[in-house]
Structure 1
Amino acid sequence: MLYIDTWKRVLIWAVCAVGLLLALPNTFYTRVEQSNDARAAIELGADTPENQVIAEQWPSWMPSSLVNLGLDLRGGAHLLAEVKVEDVYASRMEAMWPEIRDALRQERATVGTIRKQPSDPQEVRVRISQPEGMDRALQVVRDLSRPIQSLTGAGASDIVVSADGDEIVVALSEAEKLASDDRTVRQSLEIVRRRIDEVGTREPTIQRQGSDRILIQVPGIGSAAELKELIGTTAQLSFHPVIGRGTDADANTGIGNKLLPSLDESGIFYEVEAAPVVTGEELVDAQPSFDQNGRPAVSFRFNTSGARKFGDYTLENIGSPFAIVLDDEVISAPVIQSHIPGGSGIITGNFSVEESTDLAVLLRAGALPAGLDFLEERTIGPELGQDSIDAGRVATIVAFVAVLVFMGLSYGLFGLFANVALILNIGIIFGLLSLIGATLTLPGIAGIVLTVGMAVDANVLVFERIREELKTSKGPSRAIELGYEKALSAILDANITTFITAVILFAMGSGPVRGFAITLGLGILTSVFTAIFVTRLMIVMWFERRRPKTIEV
């Protein structure tokens, strides 16, 4: 018997209504360029993609989420960056010098005085005054080595220690270099992702290519130069002991020290120890704030390790200046007035509110461990994206009309029901895309076009089954009921296998492939819903109203 409970009918139409309501805002937005006015408008709604703004006539209490457009549809920036992994070797060696110095100081009776010598940036050379104690010195330095935690160098040492006359030579082992390269690229990838996410960019593509390259594609950014400025800033914060202060930019510095300019005081240079006491890598938080005089500043907080080192140094060096260095410029060099426990503090300077906010974002995201060389950069204009949208719209309309005509000619009134369900199906797809904040790309449009072609498959199976049942002299009501029951297993089998394919594409793919998988997967779910429930409900409502003695399918 053809019958559907009232609560089921209400639920089916409610799902359709909610889907269409979620999709509706996409027909009421205007597209704007990336200007200051646009950014200000965008900030009014956190759910609105970067270059799409809901028109004023849209009620504020209604759903306002839009389908995000990918790089190929909306325009944006494309960068291919190479990580300069060799930069990390020099910083590692620089950071090892204090450890080597402190370890050898305890063996002065055996090795004599120790002095760092000029050397290649990727190694540390230390001269001892008693060469006869070289064996002991080498053993002490080798004890500083650590095992490498990586698949490429498991169990190996991270440093190689050798003697060259009366000098100890320390360098990274080849296994450690390989492990360091991998860590550096992974860390750079994560930091680039954080920096882009911090500014609220929707659905960027950030992935590793090869051993030392990163592919970055960000929709909605006005130019590749803007993207480079965002991710290329180092924001390397560190804290150094101050040796001296002067005005000579060419002054000689002691070995292990370096000369840095002051950010606020023109013509002033600070000589600081090259090895920092604490680095920005040990920061766990940075927020814009104001100092005691009401000027913009940045407050920061270290992790447990950084807090301990920061507290120990301030306790032991009360009355000494302490340089706060950002990207090789001294922001300030305050004198330590008292012990600073807890690992928190504040960075002051001639900041504007915007600059303090930007600095906090960069510090929070972390410093890039190495520089980036941009090998390829492209800006995709919104005009090209609009052409792609227009071409995709034409393809969808052509496929849509062809399917409507075919179903109407093949199945008459029942084909009309299937066509109404198809229209609802497309609306629900866009509603779900808006709800989950998915990104629509050209392959995504292809997935929708494919869905349009596949959406009526289930109805074709049902209608053909109804035809077969009518040939066995069953009544219209029984034929319709058996048609849906016997076609259900075939519908589910066909769509489940396709849905599994979409899930695998989503899990294994990236970028546009995921866009195709999302639209295909959602299309399968909505197609099954409209074919099994919506068309059946429409047929039941028609049958209850007309009570035909015979039907033609």
Structure 2
Amino acid sequence: MLVVVICLGLLYALPNIYGEDPAIQISGSNSAEINVTTQDKVKKILIDNDIKFKSIVYENKSILIRVSDNDAQLKAKELISETLGEEYIVALNLAPATPTWLTMLGAEPMKLGLDLRGGVHFLMEVDMTTALSKLTEQSIENIKSEFTASKLNYKTINKDRHDQIIIQFDNTEDRNKAITKINGIQDFKVVSQSDNAIVINVSEQRLQQAKNDAVQQNTTILRNRVNQLGVAEPIVQRQGADRIVVELPGIQDTVLAKRILGATATLEFRQVNEESTPNLPAILNGDMRVPYGSEIQYMENGHPVLLYKRIVLTGDHITDSSYRANQYGQPEVAITLDSSGGKKMLNFTQKNLHKAMATLFVEYKDTGKRDENDKPVLEKQERVINVATIDGIFSDRFQVRGIGNIDEAKNLSLLLRAGALIAPIQIIEERTVGPSMGQENITQGLESCAWGLAISVIFMLVMYRLFGVFASLALVANLILIVGAMSLLPGATLSMPGIAGIVLTVGMAVDANVLINERIKEELSNGRSVQHAINEGYAGAWSSIFDANLTTLITAVILYAVGTGSIKGFAITLGIGIVTSMFTSIVGTRALANLIYGGRRVNKLSI
């Protein structure tokens, strides 16, 4: 059993000695698909420019090119990006140089964390104020729909600065009917009332659900945006109630990453209030009020447009988008909706044929100011991209025109394809680790591990002679098993705290052998025979070893459960190290002792 376990550990640890090759990864979109023709085109680019490559592989709708060094990698990326165009994502990558026979057995090297590989780290916070404000606006629309369906009369529905919903009525009878209706809806609660008005709050349960959904959906959308960047092995995970951690190994362009990840751009499709548009000059002059349920928005050139506040469709329903220049050389974005969005657009265009619809571009930007909680104050900026007459009925596919230039169309297309954030996010922590610093961390980690191993081995050899050799061999086997387990576990990532966990395990692993050896020496001094002393040494020390390692393992489990990021990395290596050290230091050393001293009469132990 011991031999089989160590051989398996060695097999799965082996890929880590082969290192990684500099590589270029090419992926496309729905509008630019990767195929064998693309592979041939890329291969021709490399050959024509005399760039030597180790291999070029087409699989899983992407192309992976391995090159010999970083200079060839950078040169190849630049040439391929220029030739293929902006619709393809060409990303720098590191590909494991593991031999094919190991890969076929499922053996892969350990995944390295950001601090060992280099890249950028962002800690982002979701703006819950905006998320709850959106919930209140959505709730107002839902109440309007419920009242209309139930034929309940009301005068106005608005929200105050505390995001409470205030409904005005013409008489007490209408108010009482509305209260009965609201009490029957689970998400709302009437908090106060007067003769002709009621004040409603969204229920606490619904608020908590909205907060959780905002973080969860933003996490999913950020993952989609990271995929658009073409980053290999990114980390996007929730942290706490309203924060998200994003780690992008290999990325050094923080400006691009921040622009793509932090952007809050989305589209809203609204109907134009054509009935009141002739009165627009009088409204702008202050001679007339803005009609109820409408608002004035402006185009890029400053031209005012009167829109209904009710949103026909939001960017949440967009599943794909691509940009291009039309036959007149004007940039446009082609949009594809999901089935729900397609049905909404179909119903709207059927009922509003030959009427005007506007496309509103919505974005949240940092004002540079801080609120009372020292959080950045975001400003909502809106502008009308275009106003078009609905000439025909359409559903899930259409084009948006009126965009300033092709670069703006490209960025809008990328953001819409990745998804619109449910609520704005602020980057509250940013950290960049260079590739050279990552390599330096690896070197220092390996050196510290080697020193820890050497000191432990010397101590055991001096103190316990042959039994010290047993403990030292067990220690080496323990390291092999840790690396093999880390390579085998899906999702396990080695970071600097993880290396610290391994170094700590190296020091702790010999504890068991110290207890065993001291117990054997104690039994020998009490006049026991050699074989009896060995047996009692292992049997007597077992309970102490088990209790000590169990409490440490419980600590590692708690650290993993409540910790995040690097804390989890430390907990994983510590937990694996405890389990493997118990196996090697007890089973392993006992097997070696039996091999040397078992089955024969021994008068003296080398201990």
The two structures have a TM-score, normalised by structure 2, of 0.65
Distance of aligned partners of 1:157 and 1:332 in 2 relative to their CA distance in 1, 3 Å threshold: same
Q: Which digits, 9 at most, give the CA deviation of each residue in 1:332-389, with x for residues without a partner?
A: 746263485xxx44555678997587335432xx5323x3455x43333336656655
Could you tell me which residue of structure 2 aligns to residue 47 of structure 1?
none
Could you tell me which residue of structure 2 aligns to residue 286 of structure 1?
319
Could you tell me which residue of structure 1 aligns to residue 53 of structure 2?
none
Q: Is the 8 A contact 1:66 1:434 kept in 2?
A: yes
**Alignment-mate amino acid for residue 5 of structure 2:** I
Match of residue 214, structure 1, among 224, 243, 249? 243
**Alignment-mate amino acid for residue 127 of structure 2:** V
Match of residue 381, structure 1, among 415, 428, 433? 433
Distance of aligned partners of 1:536 and 1:157 in 2 relative to their CA distance in 1, 3 Å threshold: same
Q: Is the 8 A contact 1:124 1:171 kept in 2?
A: yes
Q: In structure 2, what is the Cα distance between the partners aligned to 1:224 and 1:170?
A: 50
Q: In structure 2, what is the Cα distance between the partners aligned to 1:171 and 1:127?
A: 9
Could you tell me which residue of structure 2 aligns to residue 46 of structure 1?
none
Q: In structure 2, what is the Cα distance between the partners aligned to 1:536 and 1:474?
A: 17
Q: How many residue pairs were aligned?
A: 499
Distance of aligned partners of 1:412 and 1:122 in 2 relative to their CA distance in 1, 3 Å threshold: closer
Distance of aligned partners of 1:105 and 1:389 in 2 relative to their CA distance in 1, 3 Å threshold: closer
Deviation (angstroms), 1:139: 3.9
Match of residue 96, structure 1, among 128, 131, 140? 140
**Alignment-mate amino acid for residue 474 of structure 1:** S
Match of residue 276, structure 1, among 311, 319, 342? 311
SS of 2:264's partner is coil
User: 2:269 aligned with 1:234, yes or no?
Assistant: no
Q: In structure 1, what is the Cα distance between the partners aligned to 2:386 and 2:476?
A: 61
**Alignment-mate amino acid for residue 286 of structure 1:** T
Matches within 5 A, 1:290-329: 297-303=334-340, 309-327=344-362, 328=382, 329=384
Which structure has more relative contact order (CA 8 Å, sep 6+)? It is 1
Q: In structure 1, what is the Cα distance between the partners aligned to 2:507 and 2:244?
A: 34
Q: In structure 2, what is the Cα distance between the partners aligned to 1:115 and 1:187?
A: 29
Distance of aligned partners of 1:315 and 1:402 in 2 relative to their CA distance in 1, 3 Å threshold: same
Q: In structure 1, what is the Cα distance between the partners aligned to 2:11 and 2:346?
A: 57
Q: Is the 8 A contact 2:2 2:587 kept in 1?
A: no
**Alignment-mate amino acid for residue 260 of structure 2:** L
Bigger strand share:
2
Could you tell me which residue of structure 2 aligns to residue 335 of structure 1?
390
Q: Is the 8 A contact 1:319 1:335 kept in 2?
A: yes
Matches within 5 A, 1:160-239: 173=201, 176=203, 182-198=208-224, 199=226, 202-204=234-236, 206-208=238-240, 214=243, 216=245, 218=247, 220=249, 221-222=251-252, 225-239=255-269
Deviation (angstroms), 1:14: 2.3
Q: In structure 2, what is the Cα distance between the partners aligned to 1:278 and 1:145?
A: 26
**Alignment-mate amino acid for residue 546 of structure 2:** L
SS of 1:222's partner is coil
Match of residue 515, structure 2, among 461, 468, 473? 461
Match of residue 134, structure 1, among 171, 180, 184? 171
Q: In structure 2, what is the Cα distance between the partners aligned to 1:339 and 1:203?
A: 39
Deviation (angstroms), 1:288: 5.1
Q: In structure 2, what is the Cα distance between the partners aligned to 1:141 and 1:38?
A: 69
**Alignment-mate amino acid for residue 263 of structure 2:** T
Q: In structure 2, what is the Cα distance between the partners aligned to 1:99 and 1:36?
A: 58
SS of 1:157's partner is strand
Match of residue 535, structure 1, among 589, 597, 600? 589
The two structures have a TM-score, normalised by structure 1, of 0.71
**Alignment-mate amino acid for residue 230 of structure 1:** I
Q: Is the 8 A contact 1:148 1:158 kept in 2?
A: no
Could you tell me which residue of structure 2 aligns to residue 406 of structure 1?
459
Q: In structure 1, what is the Cα distance between the partners aligned to 2:114 and 2:274?
A: 53
RMSD over aligned Cα atoms: 5.0
Q: Is the 8 A contact 1:71 1:218 kept in 2?
A: no
Q: In structure 1, what is the Cα distance between the partners aligned to 2:198 and 2:545?
A: 68
Q: Which digits, 9 at most, give the CA deviation of each residue in 1:272-295, with x for residues without a partner?
A: 3211134345x3x7145799x999
Q: Is the 8 A contact 1:22 1:65 kept in 2?
A: yes
Q: In structure 1, what is the Cα distance between the partners aligned to 2:528 and 2:351?
A: 100
Distance of aligned partners of 1:162 and 1:501 in 2 relative to their CA distance in 1, 3 Å threshold: same
**Alignment-mate amino acid for residue 392 of structure 2:** Q
Q: Is the 8 A contact 1:90 1:123 kept in 2?
A: no
Q: What are the ranges of 5 or more consecutive residues in structure 1 without an aligned counterpart?
A: 1-7, 42-49, 151-155
Identity of matched residues, %: 24
Q: In structure 2, what is the Cα distance between the partners aligned to 1:238 and 1:453?
A: 60
Q: In structure 2, what is the Cα distance between the partners aligned to 1:78 and 1:52?
A: 20
Deviation (angstroms), 1:311: 4.9
Q: Which digits, 9 at most, give the CA deviation of each residue in 1:505-525, with x for residues without a partner?
A: 211222332222111101111
Q: Which digits, 9 at most, give the CA deviation of each residue in 1:258-284, with x for residues without a partner?
A: 455679xx7877543211134345x3x
Deviation (angstroms), 1:406: 0.5
